[in-house]
Amino acid sequence: MFKSIPLATALILSSSSVFAAEQPNWASCVVELQQKAKNEGLSQQTIDSTLANVKYVPRVIELDNKQPEFSQSFENYFTKRVTDWRVAQGRKLYKEHKVLLDKLAKQYGVPPQYLLAFWGLETNFGSYKGKMPVLDSLATLACDPRRSSYFTQELMQALKLKERYSFATSDMVGSWAGAMGHTQFMPSAYAKYAVDGDGDGKADLWNSTEDALTSAAHFLQNLGWKRNERWGREVTLPKDFSYEYLGKAQAQPLTRWAELGITQTSGSPLSTPDMQAALYLPSGHTGPAFLGYDNFDVIMRWNRSTFYAIAVGHLADRINGGVALKVAPPEMPSLSRARVKELQIQLNDRGYDVGKPDGILGANSVKGLQAYQRSQGLVADGYPDEATFKSLGVK
Ligand code: CA
């Protein structure tokens, strides 16, 4: 759940990934963190038992710096996450935790299949919760200049959690970025939204499934989850669809989508309340199309990735008895950053302002790409397929 930080953006700023194994200012930084903790009201005992022995972990910086040369295709992402095993496991766990999940649905408005889907995607239903010592990871990131203030805050929250619940430092393990427990809560979310679901006096997101699921429901409610609404759905586009509106910035009422000829994959008309929905084509026009409703945006607040939101939504549907995607995600070549960067340069040269070329297809790039494709009579889906690369002279 750490990914709500614009990681890609932050990573571009560090052009070099060569980091010394030892951080030169580590010792003085730890002293500053100790002072900060004191100012935040943490007890000397907590500080001594944590920040006095905290360790710099070069691996954390390495992982934080990892800048993939290729962006993963939707097919690759999706098929690894929405698997038959996870669907079956989700259904099995629903039976196992039915009383709790039904209670949470009533209390927080989040249906069981969604909680199971988040749980499945975050930690494979608790089977992999991460083993990195959270306090070391957070201190390491707090002492790295790039996002120091964010991780310093998270570290302070983690220390407060330790103090509040008397957690042993060695039990506070998680992802390299400090996300913890069954549903990978960052410390600030843990502090704010974790709930003691089983009533033992402690919100323990590592060891209590009941606490973890209750906390996830509570968090989603606070992120704005709309009771009785779906996440969105896979849809069928009519032939010769114009792709006039694409992505969150161009959300339209469902009635408008229906007018444009979009239907459910069964062929049934969209139910047409005055709900806003955004169209997503994660593999371009040859792949599946999705409309994302308000709850799609809620999932994006948990993890700002459209791939993630589609995977959570679809896995939830499958767990709830739904069928596989009607259009299987096509295998697409991985896009190298260098190639996308060249494409951005070519678009800029032709007057489609996509901003500074960075090799990442953001909203501006998609918009510029669409305008270019339209001008050339190509399918204007904002996806850089081979025809588009060829037309722009990008090898
Ligand atoms: Ca508890």
Distance 317 CA to ligand 1 centre (A): 29
The answer to the question of residue 16 being in a domain is yes
Q: Which of 27, 272, 46 is nearest to 156 (CA)?
A: 46
Q: What is the CATH number of the domain that holds 175?
A: 1.10.8.350
Which distant-in-sequence residues (6+ apart) come within 8 Å of 272 by Cβ?
254, 255, 258
Distance 96 CA to ligand 1 centre (A): 18
Domain end (from 138, 156, 179): 179
Distance 164 CA to ligand 1 centre (A): 13
Domain interval for residue 154: 1-56+130-179
Distance 95 CA to ligand 1 centre (A): 21
- Residue 340 has a pLDDT of 95
Q: What is the amino acid identity at position 102? A: D
Distance 182 CA to ligand 1 centre (A): 13
- Residue 10 has a pLDDT of 36
The answer to the question of residue 371 being in a domain is yes
Distance 244 CA to ligand 1 centre (A): 50
Distance 181 CA to ligand 1 centre (A): 13
- Residue 70 has a pLDDT of 83
Distance 227 CA to ligand 1 centre (A): 25
Distance 212 CA to ligand 1 centre (A): 9
Between the alpha carbon of residue 149 and those of residues 14, 144, 298, 308, the distances in Å are 17, 10, 25, 26
Between the alpha carbon of residue 347 and those of residues 19, 95, 341, 352, 394, the distances in Å are 34, 53, 10, 5, 11
Distance 33 CA to ligand 1 centre (A): 30
Domain end (from 117, 145, 179): 179
- Residue 53 has a pLDDT of 92
The answer to the question of residue 32 being in a domain is yes
Per the CB < 8 A criterion, the answer to whether 284 and 385 are in contact is yes
Distance 157 CA to ligand 1 centre (A): 19
Distance 195 CA to ligand 1 centre (A): 7
Distance 197 CA to ligand 1 centre (A): 6
The answer to the question of residue 34 being in a domain is yes
Distance 69 CA to ligand 1 centre (A): 42
- Residue 130 has a pLDDT of 96
Distance in angstroms (rounded) separating the CA atoms of residues 107 and 129: 26
The answer to the question of residue 33 being in a domain is yes
Distance 100 CA to ligand 1 centre (A): 14
3-state SS assignment for residue 318:
helix
The answer to the question of residue 24 being in a domain is yes
pTM of this prediction exceeds 0.95: no
Per the CB < 8 A criterion, the answer to whether 228 and 205 are in contact is no
Distance 161 CA to ligand 1 centre (A): 14
Distance 215 CA to ligand 1 centre (A): 10
Distance 315 CA to ligand 1 centre (A): 27
Per the CB < 8 A criterion, the answer to whether 186 and 151 are in contact is no
Query: Considering its fold, how many domains does the chain have in total?
Result: 2
Distance in angstroms (rounded) separating the CA atoms of residues 138 and 153: 9
Q: What is the amino acid identity at position 212? A: A
Q: Are strands 252-253 and 276-280 parallel, antiparallel or unpaired?
A: antiparallel
Distance 209 CA to ligand 1 centre (A): 9
Distance 214 CA to ligand 1 centre (A): 10
Distance 52 CA to ligand 1 centre (A): 29
- Residue 24 has a pLDDT of 72
Distance 26 CA to ligand 1 centre (A): 36
Distance 112 CA to ligand 1 centre (A): 20
Burial of 63 (0-12, 13-18, 19+ CB in 10 A): middle
Distance 194 CA to ligand 1 centre (A): 10
Distance 162 CA to ligand 1 centre (A): 14
Burial of 286 (0-12, 13-18, 19+ CB in 10 A): middle
Which distant-in-sequence residues (6+ apart) come within 8 Å of 149 by Cβ?
none
- CB count, 10 Å around CB of 86? 21
Per the CB < 8 A criterion, the answer to whether 230 and 241 are in contact is no
Distance 98 CA to ligand 1 centre (A): 18
Per the CB < 8 A criterion, the answer to whether 70 and 186 are in contact is no
Distance 256 CA to ligand 1 centre (A): 47
The HSE-up count of residue 45 (CA atoms within 13 Å, CB side) is 5
Distance in angstroms (rounded) separating the CA atoms of residues 331 and 74: 8
Domain end (from 117, 146, 179): 179
The answer to the question of residue 93 being in a domain is no
The answer to the question of residue 162 being in a domain is yes
Distance in angstroms (rounded) separating the CA atoms of residues 339 and 300: 27
- Residue 363 has a pLDDT of 87
Helix (H) or strand (E) holding 277: strand 276-280
Distance 202 CA to ligand 1 centre (A): 4
Q: What residues in the chain have per-residue pLDDT under 70?
A: 1-22
